[in-house]
Structure 1
Amino acid sequence: MTHKRILTGDRPTGRLYLGHYLGSLQNRLKLQHDYETYILIADVQALTDNFATPERLQANIRGLCSTT
C-alpha cells in the first residue's frame, strides 16, 4: 500500500514557540506515519522579510532545523 503525500513548509522568520507546536507541528507528528511527508524551508520567501539583515536568515534557518 502506498502512502498519500503531504507537502508542507515553514518560513525561517524566527524561533519556534508553543503556538507553532499546537498549530502545526503536533499534527505533523501524528500524520508522519500515515503519509509520505515532505517538509521544506522556504528560504526565498523569507529573504523578503530579511532583505536588510540577511545574516538573521541563516541563524533562523539553523534554529528551525534544530527544533523540528
Structure 2
Amino acid sequence: MKLIKIKNFGSIAEAELARNFLKENGIESVVRRGDLAAAGEFTGAIGDADLLVSEENIKKAEEILKNGEY
C-alpha cells in the first residue's frame, strides 16, 4: 500500500486530530513528522507533521477533511 501526503500541519497534535477525524469517518491514515521535526530541530509534539493516506483514499480523505474544516 502506497501512502501519499495529503496535508501538512503546523504541529503533530493538529495532525493527530485530523487523523482521528479521518478514522471516525472510516479512513485509516498515518502521521509522520514533517521536515522540521525530522531534522531534529524540534521534539515531541512540537514541529510540523504530514498526514498520509493510501492512494485509493486520497479524494475521500481530502473531502472529509475539507468538510471538517481541517
Give the TM-score of the pair, scaled to structure 2: 0.30
Query: Which of the two has higher C-alpha Rg?
Result: 1
Higher relative contact order, structure no. (Cα contacts within 8 Å, ≥ 6 residues apart): 1
Give the TM-score of the pair, scaled to structure 1: 0.31
Q: Return the structure number with greater helix share.
A: 1
